[in-house]
Amino acid sequence: MSKDDQFTNYIKEAFSLLEKINAQVVKDHQTFMNNDLTPKQLFILQTIRDEKKVTINQLSERTMLSASSVSQIIARLEKDRYVRRDINPENRREIIVKLDKKGLELFKEYEKIDDKIIEQYYGNFSLQEVKTFRDLVKKLHDEMKSESSRKES
């Protein structure tokens, strides 16, 4: 078996293991994850959480969804009190989208899940192992961002 074959096999094995890990986490914590949100709605909410306050156009750019699609998703999330729209005090023609009560509660619950997962699954890892894991994931993320930037240029 060549070095390239070994490399590919190791990566595929890691992918397979990550899929199994994700499935187990969902199974173990399904009661916390029961909500009626679609993947696109959750993606929008995560983007709003990460940005703190964002416009529809910015959400459209960051999520690669059309502005009309984002507007429809925001309307539904606003109706269900996950988000709210406010007039930007610095530019009154602009609407800022922020998390509302249910959106903030959702991410508080996710934080509890994260804490439980860290305690339950990562508790036997050393600090160095956790740091190495973080560094490898960061390196992969940076490589993906760099590749994405090269494609956009």
Q: In whole angstroms, what is the distance from residue 93 CA to residue 106 CA? A: 30
pTM here is: 0.74
Parallel/antiparallel/unpaired status of strands 83-88 and 91-99:
antiparallel
85/41 same-domain check: yes
State pLDDT tens for residues 62-109. Answer: 989 999 999 999 999 999 999 999 998 888 888 899 999 999 999 998
Query: Under 8 Å CB-to-CB from 58, ≥6 apart: which residues?
Result: 51
Q: How far apart are CA 150 and CA 144, in angstroms?
A: 10
- Answer yes or no: are the C-beta atoms of 109 and 117 closer than 8 Å: no
Q: How far apart are CA 59 and CA 47, in angstroms?
A: 7
Number of domains the chain contains: 2
Looking at residue 90, its pLDDT comes to 86
pLDDT in tens, 9-52: 999 999 999 899 888 877 777 655 656 888 899 999 999 999 98
Joined tokens for residue 18: 């990550």
Same domain as 94, residue 84? yes
Tell whether 136 is covered by a domain.
Answer: no
User: Is residue 41 domain-shared with residue 88, that is, in the same domain?
Assistant: yes
Whether residue 68 lies inside any domain: the answer is: yes
Residue 26, domain extent: 1-34
